[in-house]
Amino acid sequence: MPEAILPIVFLISLIILKMMTKEYRFALAARFAMTIMLLATGIAHFVYVKGMLLMIPEYIPFRPTIVYVTGIVEIIAGMLLLIPRYQKKAEVFLILFFVLLLPFNIYACMLHVDMEKGNYEGDGLLYLWYRIPLQVFFIAWVYFSACRSS
């Protein structure tokens, strides 16, 4: 689960950076954690293709291509967070990206999509009480790392 990766990698990164630099580098640890989370979610686009396809309405063309491309985009955007020259652009892109993904998450919840199993036996609309705040949390996380230096 991406929401577990984020705080775990953040804390480990924060400790390692403190040991290496003798100071807390919160924003860098936050960016590194987001990068690792995006690597994991990007890879999921190739592992759970069937479930990801169910999250996209059938009237949208090139659904398999969208699944693969968005996986690649997540991986690249995550890596760009760690390159100072591209960091701010990646942060702005990711905030917009997370906002654009929300309707697909809502759609998937309405259909009870279970992404990992690739069927319609998921949690359904109650999951939105978790998913919407989680999406806001991801946006806030990226924003936080963008507003802090280091």
Asked if residues 17 and 25 have their Cβ atoms less than 8 Å apart, the reply is: yes
HEC readout, 116-147: CCCECCCCHHHHHHHHHHHHHHHHHHHHHHHH
- Position 14 scores a pLDDT of 96
- The fraction of the chain above a pLDDT of 90, given in percent, is 82
- Tell me: pLDDT of 18 over 90: yes
Radius of gyration of the chain (CA): 16
**Sequence spans of domains, the chain:** 34-147
pLDDT of residue 148: 62
Q: Identity (one letter) of the amino acid at 119?
A: N
- Distance (Å, rounded) from C-alpha 30 to C-alpha 92? 15
Q: Read off the pLDDT of residues 49-106 as tens digits, 9 standing for 90 and up.
A: 999 999 999 999 999 999 999 999 999 999 999 999 999 999 999 999 999 999 999 9
Residue with tokens 């917009």: 96
pLDDT, position 40: 96
Please give the average per-residue pLDDT across 99-126, as a whole number: 92
Distance (Å, whole) CA 146 – CA 92: 8
Tokens (6 digits) for 49:
């293709």
Q: What tens digit of pLDDT does each residue of 2-11 get?
A: 789 999 999 9
Can you give the pTM of this predicted structure?
Answer: 0.90
